[in-house]
Amino acid sequence: MRAELARAKVNLCLHVTGQRDDGMHLLDSIVVFPAVGDVLEATTAIDLTLEITGPFGDGLEAGDDNLIIRAAQMLADKGAALQLRKNLPVASGIGGGSADAAACIRLLSDMWDAAVPSLERLTDLGADVPVCMAQTPTRMSGIGESLEAIPSLPKFWIVLVNAGQGVETGAVFGAMTSRENTGLSSIPESFPSPETLFEYLRAQRNDMQDAAIKHCPMIAEVLRALEATENCALSRMSGSGGTCFGLFAHEANATIAASKLRENHPDWWVVSAAV
């Protein structure tokens, strides 16, 4: 048996800079991949099958429309018994489906000795699939096909929070009042400390956040709860929502904040992780 961790993809900032004629939105974003995610396992088999388990696995279809199956079929016409443990909330702005598809490609390209598909074909699976392949800090732009590694981020900690309400990306884009905004400020060559990174990020934004709050007001409550935790340097929404995050310079502070949030909101999904 082989296994891959499909890490959560967190947009530390996300600027919407335009819209193509085909309706696809243009983005400028810094993404990171904390040490938390879904787990995909594979064993050799005659047929290609997928079983989905885990705390967020209920109701997910495992048929041909599933991104994992589509990713496997893109690689080769071969069999494998795949099992996904769905640890991340669904429709939550942290790239779960794309991360799972990328994990499938990493896993089966090695197991089957198959070539990794081109960037264009990966993008056909989903705009976030290419950035989820390497799972490293990256500036992504265009529709997600333009990737620039950011190798010099300091270590910091993140608390992810989801109140259990899925957010439809299309609805959020539709509620946006402006789709042609400025891109990211020039990214420094290095960030000597977590605080210098946080200072840079405070000057950036998520252009989808206000529209997502209109669609799902609970997001504002989650952000307020994060802001109220001690030593939270920045709180923001990831992607199109509804997962939000708080950034912390020290592990102990993130752990305490996550514990308090779980205590005050036992029905929320809360996790802390290193980045």
Instruction: Work out the percent of the chain whose per-residue pLDDT is above 70.
Output: 100
pLDDT value of position 46? 98
| 242: preceding bond cis by omega (within 30 degrees) | yes
CA 242 to CA 164: how far, in whole Å? 8
Of the candidates 38, 100, 128, 207, the residue annotated as catalytic is: 128
| pLDDT one-digit tens code per residue, 36-85 | 999 999 999 999 999 999 999 998 999 999 999 999 999 999 999 999 99
Of the candidates 9, 28, 86, 207, the residue annotated as catalytic is: 9
Rg of the chain in Å (alpha carbons):
18
pLDDT value of position 165? 86
Query: Considering only CA atoms, which of 6, 86, 2 is closest in space to residue 44?
Result: 2
pLDDT at residue 169 tops 90: no
pLDDT value of position 91? 87
| pLDDT one-digit tens code per residue, 215-238 | 999 999 999 999 999 999 999 999
Task: Verify whether residue 124 is a known catalytic residue.
Answer: no
Q: Residue 129 — very low, low, confident or very high, per pLDDT cuts 50/70/90?
A: very high
- Quote the tokens at residue 93: 């702005």
Q: Residue 183 — very low, low, confident or very high, per pLDDT cuts 50/70/90?
A: very high
Query: Considering only CA atoms, which of 149, 180, 151 is closest in space to residue 27?
Result: 180
pLDDT value of position 167? 85
Average pLDDT of the chain to the nearest whole number: 96
Query: Considering only CA atoms, which of 156, 106, 92 is closest in space to residue 135?
Result: 106
- DSSP H helices, 135-208, are 169-175, 194-202
Q: Which residue type occupies 63?
A: G
Q: Return the H-helix or E-strand segment holding 81.
A: strand 80-85
- DSSP H helices, 95-193, are 96-111, 119-125, 129-134, 169-175
CA 81 remoteness from chain centre? 25
Q: Which residue reads 């598909």 in tokens?
A: 117
Region 258-266: what's the mean pLDDT? 98
The single-letter DSSP state of residue 242 is S
pLDDT value of position 74? 97
The sheet that has 234-237: what strands, in order across it?
Answer: 234-237, 244-248, 157-162, 269-274
CATH hierarchy code of domain 152-274: 3.30.70.890
Does domain 2-148 fall into CATH 3.30.230.10?
A: yes
pLDDT value of position 168? 86
Task: Verify whether residue 77 is a known catalytic residue.
Answer: no
| pLDDT one-digit tens code per residue, 99-116 | 999 999 999 999 999 999
Domain boundaries, the chain: 2-148, 152-274
Q: Which residue type occupies 250?
A: H
